[in-house]
Structure 1
Amino acid sequence: MPDSSPTPLRVAVLADSDTRWKWGALTARRIAPESTVHGYLLWGRATPTERQLAEIGADADELSEVSAADFLADLGRRAHGDSGAEPFDILVLACVGGTIQAMLHGLARAWRTADTRPAVVTGYVGVVYEKLPDGLLLRHGADLVLANSPYDARRFRAVYDGVRADSSAVTECALPFLDGRAYDPGPAERGERPYRVVFAVQPSVPAGRNDRVYLLDRAVAHARRHPEREVILKLRSKPSEHTTHIEELPYQRLAERIKDDQPANFRLAYGNMGEILDETDLLVTVSSTAALESLHRSVPTAVLSDLGVREPLGNHYFIGSGCFASWDELDAGYLPEPDPEWLADQGIGTSHELAFATARGRLTELLEQRDRSGLPPLTPYYTARTAPGYLPGVLARHGLDIKGEPKAGHRSAEAQQDGMRAASRRLLRRTARGAYRAGVQRVAPIIRRWGQL
């Protein structure tokens, strides 16, 4: 008897960093369960390493590293049936705003004569605490712009409506990695393991050396004050790696000065955040999205106020959460109590089945429309008419002209090289990436310090 089960949806995910890959791949699984996922890692400063990909725990059925030109050419060929590979049903753009805008224009051109195209989805990898209008308008033009909470959905629609942009694409859901088992204080209370405090650090917050040294010293001091506890400095990346944000002063290097005087109950750790939260009794951070993950699990969570509650730190986003505390208060045993209304407005505590139901429903409607009459062309808010002084620069950074066409000299890398030359190119890319990272993390800060003398 022939198999009558539906063919799994094919989802493509384009990502340009480790955290955005995590968001994009997990979002694909939430909005299209049982789908096959083809991942495209956009080559650049923050292309994730194999170690980072393994740590994230978000897999793909296929995964390749591409340039912007490679990606646009492949998606164009697939939509026209020219590549021999099946076209995609859904495309998730998990990139920085400027890259998303460039891809929307490039794809609009690549698909202009195609009979069909994928439904295009985009959104944000975490809390949106800065550059809200800029980032949102750069994402406008996708079929779905995912908002990670009721709070975000209201803000997103207000921005689009306020500039006469269509806000119907805004779709409420939740962060796809809010998951895991609920907090159980029992093992620590029964003495089965030490009470565990995890300080989730961030690559660029705070930025200054003095502030980062201060936070490191306070975490170490907390370990000394509470020898019965285990204090873990949760790191995002190794010094040779990059994440979404540039880390000029890795905590690993700052910690080298105290390695001979480090208390036995203090350590640095990498690893999947979900697995670490499984045995965390107190999560401490300045403003990391990890705070939302821990709050979702009901893990006691502290957002540090030591350096102030300020926009550059991003911790102003947590105003009203009830989670602010200083290291002095934590040293004295204080545990913040989160505000239930704030949690609900952030979409925290909602099951994935419920949180993504609307997005799945809207995708079903889009795919039915595609099969029935075809999806309309992509129409971003920014055009040569609405933003003639801004859009050309955004597109040019990705090798596109104002029409979304590749500029001369930006042909697909695959069209230029093959065989051994392609292998040599990949090796050169890895070498260049390492040199670039070394320059950003080691040489650039020294040059800036020289300039301050």
Structure 2
Amino acid sequence: MTDAAGIRVVAIADADSFVKWSAALLGAVPGLRPHLLLVRTPLTVSAAQERTALAGTALGPEDVTRVSFAEAAGWLAGQRPDVVVLAGRGPFVRLMGRMIDALEHRPVTVSGLPGMAIPAQRGALDYRRHTDLLVLHSHRELRAFEELGRRIGVQVPTALATLPFARRRQRLLRPERVRAEAVVGGGSGVAVAERPGPGAPVRPPATDIVFAAQALVPATRAERAEIAATLVRAAEAEPGRRVVVKLRSRPGESETHLEREPYHDLLPHRRPPNLVYSYDPMATALETAAGLVTVSSTAAIEATALGVPVIALDSFGVSKSLLNTVFVGSGLLGGRSEVVSGRFRHPHPDWLRDNYFHPEAESTWWERVERLVALRRSGALPPRRVPAAKGGSMHEAWHRASVLGGEDRTVQGAMALAVGAPMTRALAAVRGRRTPSDGGTWADSTTDYTLEPNPFHDSLRR
């Protein structure tokens, strides 16, 4: 682990999307050589997923250390980083935060979310409320989390970063607006786009349709089967182009969210020969893409960054529960028939600045980190400690075992899971029946935040 301006930085992560995000975020800081500490949980990336997540970043295998949770505190005590980026799902962030609270040399703690975070979710903010800084990636997200924090009484310092996967397009934006034709295969459509200026990189000829699969949306088997059927039709409509199903985990691997209806099970075994699977990094898949299809994946931002046109599927509606309200006004929403005919489009310029493509100069998160480090070194930054669980040691054991799963081999953890699992399900059912009286529900499309619990039933235990 080397430093930039004397600052030593470690990212602590487990799941694939958080590994990719933290490596790309920190790797973009000039002169910084961060280290990545992978803690073993049921979600921790495989070696193959690690290589995919680190592809295109400044981090290599020599910058990664794998440890158990029991080893993590000793490793951090020996390394004495100035900054720790807690890169994981909310319960993981809270567990690692408690571990950091016990360190003699306390680093500045930074947290964030690995992609688009609209709607801003109550749990996402609440679990990260005790970090020194929350990194967000658009002006819209800043407003949403500020309003969410006001509604639930949580104050977390926030800062704006450029979404790592939007950075290449950021350099191409020009104030001139033009009418640009998006043509894929035999179909055509007109969309407003911004023309790259002189000297912008030119992509090689590309014909693939790339589908960015997601674990959470759409949720039902019937809807996911409709997408699978659409991909088959798109492949059959033009045999000379590939339809690439971009997956993030191979059979037997885990990913950030639990996929209950994988596309491997929904696509026919005797599928068209031009309908293929890919486990390559998304950036690699997009090199040969003429268009990207997704419901609400951050891959849409990555494609836009490369000038690849997009269809954000609205065939199942536009709602917070589909995580696609962020695309309202973008010009990217489209249906399954448009995928088959290849009518992809570029986003409207007016949408870009508020949604992930703000000028680079407005991304001041690292400057904020530097100031926090200076304050911590001078003793002027009090720690934001994670409070002890209200239920005492058994509740603490429940939190730990919920995150670590089989990696927690304590008797107390096993007992806590046996007692706590049914209680948690009952509590979730009670909370699910409570409806905020003045907006902020998952059904309310007029706000960019939610006060209700997460509806996805997406347990960390696998």
Question: Which residue does 1:124 correspond to in 2?
Answer: 113
1:89 to 66, 76, 82: 82
Question: Which residue does 1:100 correspond to in 2?
Answer: 93
- In the TM superposition, residue 120 of structure 1 has moved relative to its aligned partner by 1.0
What TM-score results when the alignment is normalised by the length of structure 1?
Answer: 0.74
Q: Verify the 8 A CA contact 1:117 1:375 in the aligned structure 2.
A: no
Question: Which residue does 2:236 correspond to in 1?
Answer: 224
1:170 to 131, 147, 158: 158
Per-residue CA shift, 1:105-156, capped at 9, x if unaligned?
3322x13xx3x42111101011224561221011012111001111111112
Report the residue type matching 1:329 in the other structure.
Answer: E
- In the TM superposition, residue 68 of structure 1 has moved relative to its aligned partner by 2.9
1:47 matches 2:44: yes
Question: Which residue does 2:367 correspond to in 1?
Answer: 361
Q: Verify the 8 A CA contact 1:173 1:359 in the aligned structure 2.
A: yes
Per-residue CA shift, 1:38-86, capped at 9, x if unaligned?
22212122110111111121435432223333223433xx2xxxxxx33
Decide which moves more: 155-164 or 135-144.
155-164
Decide which moves more: 123-132 or 136-145.
123-132
Structure 1's 203 and 139: CA in aligned 2 closer, same or farther, altered over 3 A? Answer: same
Structure 1's 239 and 157: CA in aligned 2 closer, same or farther, altered over 3 A? Answer: same
Identity level (%): 29
- In the TM superposition, residue 273 of structure 1 has moved relative to its aligned partner by 0.6
1:33 matches 2:26: no
Structure 1's 6 and 238: CA in aligned 2 closer, same or farther, altered over 3 A? Answer: closer
Pairing 1:44-443 to 2, within 5 Å after superposition? 44-56=41-53, 57=55, 58=57, 59-60=59-60, 61-75=62-76, 78=77, 85-108=78-101, 110-111=102-103, 114=104, 116-129=105-118, 132-167=121-156, 169-180=157-168, 193=205, 195-255=207-267, 257-259=268-270, 262-348=271-357, 350-351=359-360, 354-356=361-363, 358-373=364-379, 375-380=381-386, 383=387, 388=390, 393=395, 396-398=398-400
Per-residue CA shift, 1:172-226, capped at 9, x if unaligned?
1122232447799999999x85522111111232233322222112111112112
Report the residue type matching 1:377 in the other structure.
Answer: P
Distance 1:161 1:290 in 2: 30
Question: Which residue does 2:17 correspond to in 1?
Answer: 19
- In the TM superposition, residue 6 of structure 1 has moved relative to its aligned partner by 6.9
Q: Verify the 8 A CA contact 1:102 1:395 in the aligned structure 2.
A: no
Distance 1:124 1:314 in 2: 14
Across the aligned residues of Structure 1 and Structure 2, the Cα RMSD in angstroms comes to: 3.5
Distance 2:383 2:411 in 1: 27
Report the residue type matching 2:159 in the other structure.
Answer: T
Distance 1:223 1:328 in 2: 13
Decide which moves more: 135-144 or 56-65.
56-65
> Which one has the largest radius of gyration?
1
Q: Verify the 8 A CA contact 2:118 2:141 in the aligned structure 1.
A: no
Q: Verify the 8 A CA contact 1:68 1:398 in the aligned structure 2.
A: no
Structure 1's 126 and 187: CA in aligned 2 closer, same or farther, altered over 3 A? Answer: closer
Secondary structure of 1:117 counterpart: coil
Distance 1:224 1:187 in 2: 15
Structure 1's 410 and 393: CA in aligned 2 closer, same or farther, altered over 3 A? Answer: closer
Q: Verify the 8 A CA contact 1:306 1:326 in the aligned structure 2.
A: yes
Secondary structure of 1:291 counterpart: helix
Per-residue CA shift, 1:251-284, capped at 9, x if unaligned?
22433x342xx33332222201112212211111
Q: Verify the 8 A CA contact 1:147 1:172 in the aligned structure 2.
A: yes
Q: Verify the 8 A CA contact 1:188 1:194 in the aligned structure 2.
A: no
Per-residue CA shift, 1:400-447, capped at 9, x if unaligned?
9xxxxx998689xxxxxxxxxxxxxxxxxxxxxxxxxxxx9xxx9xxx
Distance 1:210 1:228 in 2: 29
Distance 1:187 1:333 in 2: 5
Structure 1's 139 and 264: CA in aligned 2 closer, same or farther, altered over 3 A? Answer: same
Report the residue type matching 1:199 in the other structure.
Answer: F
Report the residue type matching 1:12 in the other structure.
Answer: V
Q: Verify the 8 A CA contact 2:231 2:340 in the aligned structure 1.
A: no
Distance 1:289 1:231 in 2: 19
Structure 1's 6 and 334: CA in aligned 2 closer, same or farther, altered over 3 A? Answer: closer
Report the residue type matching 1:64 in the other structure.
Answer: T
- In the TM superposition, residue 102 of structure 1 has moved relative to its aligned partner by 2.5
- In the TM superposition, residue 227 of structure 1 has moved relative to its aligned partner by 3.0
Per-residue CA shift, 1:367-390, capped at 9, x if unaligned?
22233335322245xx46xx8479
What TM-score results when the alignment is normalised by the length of structure 2?
Answer: 0.73
Secondary structure of 2:400 counterpart: coil
Q: Verify the 8 A CA contact 1:69 1:410 in the aligned structure 2.
A: no
Structure 1's 162 and 45: CA in aligned 2 closer, same or farther, altered over 3 A? Answer: same
Distance 1:410 1:51 in 2: 34
Report the residue type matching 1:398 in the other structure.
Answer: R
Structure that is richer in helix per residue? 1
Secondary structure of 1:13 counterpart: strand
Secondary structure of 1:252 counterpart: helix
Report the residue type matching 2:371 in the other structure.
Answer: E
Distance 1:120 1:305 in 2: 38
Structure 1's 374 and 68: CA in aligned 2 closer, same or farther, altered over 3 A? Answer: farther
Question: Which residue does 1:403 correspond to in 2?
Answer: none
